[in-house]
Structure 1
Amino acid sequence: MRSALHNALENPAEWVPVLPATPGTRDADLAAATLTVLTGRVGDFIRSHGGVVELVSAHDDVVTVRLTGSCSGCPAVGFTLHARVERALRDLHPGLRALVAV
């Protein structure tokens, strides 16, 4: 148990947040689409640059993410957020109203 916990703590990029949305609701669908984007090619791109992006919330067609690692203070973070994350997310969830970083 101890070694499994230690291994999990060493790999935060593999953590999957538990979201308080009811399955099958619009918020749950948005959260699932966001996790698909963040664990797929877009997330791989961010991780390859030493960044970490995590889903904070998905509510009323607004997604909030937290960017850490090398994303903090990076001058290209706005471009990455909107040109990569938002574009990929809109492909999966066209009703997206906003993508916000905290």
Structure 2
Amino acid sequence: MKEKILEVIDKKIRPYLRSHKGDVELLDIEDGVVRIRLLGQCSGCISADYTVKDVIETSLKEKIPQIKKVELVNCMSEETLDMARKILGRNS
């Protein structure tokens, strides 16, 4: 199933996200639940929930019926952490 998911991500989802200066990382697949992380400009975007449900989950379920849902694992990107460190005047 992982290969099918990666194929859909590469062919359909990633081009859409890259047009918005973002990307996606597949983290885990368990019992039909796909866990992902959004990267780049998509990380922390106010439309992230829409993107996950209406773009990513819909695209994956359309091609792979065994998928029950897609969960977004939120975390700050390294770029965001670096920017926060600079603002706060911290090096680590």
Same fold (TM over 0.5): yes
- Per the alignment, residue 68 of structure 1 pairs with 39
- Per the alignment, residue 81 of structure 1 pairs with 52
Find the aligned partners of 1:84 and 1:94 in 2 and give their Cα distance: 15
Matches within 5 A, 1:1-102: 29=1, 31-102=2-73
Shift of 1:62: 0.8
- Structure 2 residues not aligned, in runs of 5+: 74-92
CA RMSD in angstroms comes to 1.2
- Contact 2:61–2:68 (8 Å) recurs in 1: no
- Structure 1 residues not aligned, in runs of 5+: 1-28
Shift of 1:33: 2.3
Which of structure 1's runs of 4+ aligned residues deviate more than 2 A? none
* Offset from partner CA, 1:20-49 (integer Å, 9 cap, x none): xxxxxxxxx1x1222112101221010111
Task: Report percent identity of matched pairs.
Answer: 33
Q: Scaled by the length of structure 1, what TM-score is found?
A: 0.66
Shift of 1:99: 0.6
